[in-house]
Amino acid sequence: MQEVTSITDVIIAIGDKNAGDAVHTILRGDDRFRSMRVTSANTLIAKLQHESWGCLVACEDFDGVNHHGLVSLIRSGDICPMALPIVIITSDDNGDNDRFSKSYAVTTLQYKNIDQIADKIRVAIKDTPKPRLLIIEDDPDYLDQIRDYLSGAFSVQTALSGQTGLDIFEKESADIIITDYMMPGISGADVTSEVRKLDNLIPIIALTAHAEPKTHTELTVSGVSRFMSKKASLTDIEKACRELYLESAFDKESARARQSHNDKDRLLTVMNAARSEIKSGRHQVAQHRLASAVAALGDENSE
More confident residue, 222 or 298: 222
Nearest alpha-carbon partner for 153 in 129, 173, 177, 135 = 129
**DSSP-assigned states of every residue in 258-284:** HHHHHHHHHHHHHHHHHHHHHHTT-HH
pLDDT at position 302 is 45
The overall average pLDDT reported for the chain is 84
Report CA 132 to chain centroid distance, whole Å: 10
Q: DSSP readout, 51-74?
A: S--SEEEEESEETTEEHHHHHHHH
CA–chain centroid gap for 173, Å, is 14
Element (H, E) at 37: strand 33-37
User: Residue 213: how many CA atoms within 13 Å on its side-chain side?
Assistant: 0
Q: How confident is the model at residue 278 (pLDDT cuts 50, 70, 90)?
A: low
Residues 95, 92: Cα–Cα separation, whole Å: 10
Which tens digit of pLDDT belongs to each residue from 39-59? 999 999 999 999 999 999 999
| pLDDT at residue 295 is higher than 70 | no
243, amino acid identity: E
Buried b (16+ CB within 10 A) or exposed e, 44-71: bbebbeeeebbbbbbbbebeebebbebb
Per residue in 75-88, pLDDT tens? Answer: 888 888 888 999 99
Is the pLDDT at 303 greater than 60? The verdict is no
* Tens digit of each residue's pLDDT (9 = 90 or more) over 235-251: 999 989 988 887 877 66
**What's the pLDDT tens digit per position in 247-258?**
877 666 555 555
Mean predicted confidence (pLDDT) in 117-137 = 90
